[in-house]
Chain A
Amino acid sequence: MHADAIVETRNLTKRYGRINAVDGLDLTVRRGEVYGFLGPNGAGKTTTLRMLLGLVRPTSGSASVLGGEPGAPEGLKRVGALVESPAFYPYLSGRDNLRVIARYCGAPPSRVDEMLETVELSGRAKDRFKKYSLGMKQRLGVAAALLKDPELLILDEPTNGLDPKGMADMRELIRRLGRGERTVLLSSHLLGEVEQICDRVGVIRKGHLVAEGTVAELRSKAGLLVRAAPLEDAAKIAEGLVGVEEVEVSGGLLRLTTDPGRAAEINRRLVSAGLDVSELRPAEQSLEEVFLELTAEEVV
Chain B
Amino acid sequence: MLASFAAELLKLGKRPATWILWTIFGLSIVLLGYLLTYLLLTALYGGASSQGPRQDAPVAAKGAVAELYPRNVLATTLRSFGGIGAGVALIFGALSVSGEYGWDTLKIVLTQRPGRLSVLAGKVTAVGVVVLVGAAAGLVLGALCSYSVSLAEGTPVSWPSAGRWLEALGAGWLILATNAYMGLFLAVLLRSGALSVGIGLVYLLVVEGLLTGLATFNDRLETFVGALPGRNSTDLVAAFGQGALAPQSGPLPAEPVEPQQAALVLAAYLTGFVVLSALVFTRREVTS
Which single member of B14, B107, B287 contacts A96 (CB below 8 Å)? B14
Q: How large is the interface on A (under 10, 10 to 19, 20 to 34, 35 or more residues)?
A: 20 to 34
A85 to B104, CA, bound (A): 9
Interface window among B111-119, B133-141, B221-229, B267-275: B111-119
Chain A residues with CB under 8 A of B7: 100-101, 103-104
Chain A residues with CB under 8 A of B108: 81, 87-88, 101, 144
A97 to B214, CA, bound (A): 49
Chain A residues with CB under 8 A of B14: 91-92, 96
Interface window among A54-62, A195-203, A259-267, A275-283: A54-62
Give the total number of A-B pairs whose CB atoms are below 8 A apart. Answer: 85
Q: Encode B1-19 as 1/0 by CB contact (under 8 A) with A.
A: 0011011001100111000
Chain B residues with CB under 8 A of A99: 10
Chain A residues with CB under 8 A of B11: 89, 92, 100
Does the CB pair B113–A87 fall under 8 Å? no
Q: How large is the interface on B (under 10, 10 to 19, 20 to 34, 35 or more residues)?
A: 20 to 34
Least distance between B232 CB and chain A CB atoms (Å): 35
Chain B residues with CB under 8 A of A89: 11, 15, 99, 103, 105
Which single member of B107, B109, B287 contacts A104 (CB below 8 Å)? B109
Least distance between B118 CB and chain A CB atoms (Å): 8
Does the CB pair B285–A55 fall under 8 Å? yes
Least distance between A279 CB and chain B CB atoms (Å): 52
Chain A residues with CB under 8 A of B115: 73
Chain A residues with CB under 8 A of B99: 89
Does the CB pair B287–A50 fall under 8 Å? yes
Tell me, yes or no, whether B286 is within 8 Å of chain A by CB.
yes
Chain B residues with CB under 8 A of A100: 7, 10-11
The closest CB in chain A to the CB of B118 belongs to: A73
Q: Encode A73-85 as 1/0 by CB contact (under 8 A) with B.
A: 1001101010111
Tell me, yes or no, whether B110 is within 8 Å of chain A by CB.
yes
Tell me, yes or no, whether A185 is within 8 Å of chain B by CB.
no
Which single member of A57, A91, A106 contacts B16 (CB below 8 Å)? A91
Least distance between A198 CB and chain B CB atoms (Å): 22
A79 to B113, CA, bound (A): 9
Does the CB pair B103–A88 fall under 8 Å? yes
Does the CB pair B112–A76 fall under 8 Å? yes
Tell me, yes or no, whether A53 is within 8 Å of chain B by CB.
yes
Chain B residues with CB under 8 A of A56: 285-287
Does the CB pair A54–B10 fall under 8 Å? no
Least distance between B114 CB and chain A CB atoms (Å): 6
Within 8 A of B (CB), among A30-55: 50, 53-55
A91 to B17, CA, bound (A): 10
Chain A residues with CB under 8 A of B6: 103
A87 to B107, CA, bound (A): 8
The closest CB in chain B to the CB of A93 belongs to: B14
Does the CB pair A55–B10 fall under 8 Å? no
Chain B residues with CB under 8 A of A55: 107, 110-111, 285-287
Tell me, yes or no, whether A90 is within 8 Å of chain B by CB.
yes
A40 to B206, CA, bound (A): 51
Does the CB pair A79–B287 fall under 8 Å? no
Tell me, yes or no, whether A210 is within 8 Å of chain B by CB.
no
A103 to B11, CA, bound (A): 11
Tell me, yes or no, whether A105 is within 8 Å of chain B by CB.
yes
Does the CB pair A57–B285 fall under 8 Å? yes
The closest CB in chain A to the CB of B115 belongs to: A73
A242 to B285, CA, bound (A): 52
A219 to B16, CA, bound (A): 54
Does the CB pair A73–B286 fall under 8 Å? no
Q: Take A57-B285, A91-B14, A92-B14 as given contacts and tell me if A106 and B107 are in contact as well, using a CB distance cutoff of 8 Å.
A: no
Q: Encode A183-212 as 1/0 by CB contact (under 8 A) with B.
A: 000000000000000000000000000000
A100 to B108, CA, bound (A): 11
Chain A residues with CB under 8 A of B10: 96, 99-100, 103
A89 to B111, CA, bound (A): 16
A90 to B110, CA, bound (A): 18
Does the CB pair A73–B111 fall under 8 Å? no
Least distance between A134 CB and chain B CB atoms (Å): 15
Chain A residues with CB under 8 A of B114: 73, 104
Within 8 A of B (CB), among A139-160: 144, 148
A50 to B114, CA, bound (A): 17
Q: Encode B261-285 as 1/0 by CB contact (under 8 A) with A.
A: 0000000000000000000000001
- A101-B7, A103-B3 known; 5 new pairs, CB 8 Å cut-off, are A50-B107, A50-B287, A88-B103, A88-B105, A148-B113
Interface set of B (CB-CB < 8 Å, partner A): 3-4, 6-7, 10-11, 14-16, 99, 103-105, 107-115, 118-119, 285-287
Identify 17 residue pairs between A and B in the complex whose beta-carbon atoms are under 8 Å apart, listed by A's number. A50-B286, A53-B110, A55-B107, A56-B286, A56-B287, A73-B115, A76-B112, A81-B111, A89-B11, A90-B103, A92-B14, A100-B10, A100-B11, A103-B7, A104-B119, A105-B112, A105-B113
Interface set of A (CB-CB < 8 Å, partner B): 50, 53-57, 71, 73, 76-77, 79, 81, 83-85, 87-92, 96, 99-101, 103-106, 144, 148
In order of increasing CB-CB distance, the 9 nearest A-B pairs are A104-B112, A103-B7, A105-B112, A87-B104, A55-B286, A77-B113, A103-B6, A104-B7, A56-B285
